[in-house]
Amino acid sequence: MIHRLEFEDLVRGALREDAPFGDPFGAGFRQEARGVFLAMEAGVFCGGDVAAEVFRQVDAAVSVTFVEEGRRIRPGERAGEALGPAGSLLRGERVALNFLQKLSGVATATARYAERVSPYGTRILDTRKTTPLYRALEKYAVRVGGGFNHRFTLSDGILIKENGIRAAGGIPEAVEAARRSAPHLSRVEVEVETLEDAEAAVLAGADAILLDNMPPETVAEAVRRFGGSVFLEASGGIRPENVEAYARTGVEAISIGALTHSAAALDISFELLP
């Protein structure tokens, strides 16, 4: 679930961006009309509450219904309906579709990965590589698609990456600095690119290791050597074609930035009925 407070202002801004001075054409159509949202390709539906908020802000007289979040939709299937003044439907359709297409695209991409690793119990995680101001929505779509959220913001946990290690002067120094500044319940994770650095992070007392851009064989070795003592996560260069090979290594989680930064929008259309 996602609360309306997490997207209400974003919807308001999107409507202002799309028609700052109203719709000079559609405003004249006050007769009742009905429209349908149609899936033009197969995917996982996501974003119905956000699209409904679009029409609520446009005109409270519009009523909208959608299929349930996370439902598999097929080409030609109705994903939702809207009833209200024709001008209001015209005013809200593009903004509503923008949200629906983007979020359904993220959910669909996530489901593609999650299905391939489900036999192994591996979690698919997102990252902070999100569209500015869309993070709450995109991370919600990841959950709808069967994935899990990594840290939500930079404030939520400590993931020491390459530049952080350089700033601290090394892995042991970075972990020590994190321990000094981290809240008591925060986990400290270190991103590494070699098994030697992974060992250094483990010896320094890291709680979790992100194995970055390692082939599955190296990840499997890391699981064998360190799996009993720290949480292991793989990331970098992971695609639908090779994600199962990574899951077979026994790594606990796989984080994929492409879930949010590169997911293709799902093709959904809106059509007024005659």
177-180: long-range contacts (C-beta < 8 A, 24 or more apart)? Answer: 179/205
Active site residue 94: yes
Q: SS3 for 79?
A: strand
Task: Report in angstroms the alpha-carbon separations of 68 from 158, 182, 223, 269.
Answer: 35, 40, 38, 17
Whole-angstrom Cα distance, residue 107 to residue 59? 28
29 contact partners, CB below 8 Å, separation of at least 6: 85, 86, 87, 90
> Is residue 179 within a helix (H) or strand (E), and if so which, with residue range?
helix 171-181
Whole-angstrom Cα distance, residue 250 to residue 119? 11
Helices and strands in the chain, H and E counts: 10, 12
Active site residue 189: no
Residue pair 209/198 in contact by the 8 Å Cβ criterion? yes
Amino acid at 176: E
Structure tokens at 30: 């006050």
Active site residue 129: yes
Residue pair 175/190 in contact by the 8 Å Cβ criterion? yes
Q: SS3 for 140?
A: helix
Q: Which among 56, 128, 161, 187 is annotated as catalytic?
A: 161
Q: Which among 34, 78, 129, 225 is annotated as catalytic?
A: 129
Active site residue 102: no
Active site residue 212: yes
Q: Which among 34, 71, 94, 151 is annotated as catalytic?
A: 94
- Nearest Cα neighbor of 272 from 16, 26, 69 is 26
Exposure string (b/e) for 115-147, b if CB count within 10 Å is 16 or more?
A: ebbeeeebbbbbbbebeeebbbbbbbbbbbbbb
Q: Which among 49, 69, 189, 212 is annotated as catalytic?
A: 212
Q: Which among 191, 197, 207, 233 is annotated as catalytic?
A: 191
* Strands 208-212 and 188-192, bridge-based pairing: parallel
Active centre residues (catalytic): 94, 129, 161, 191, 212
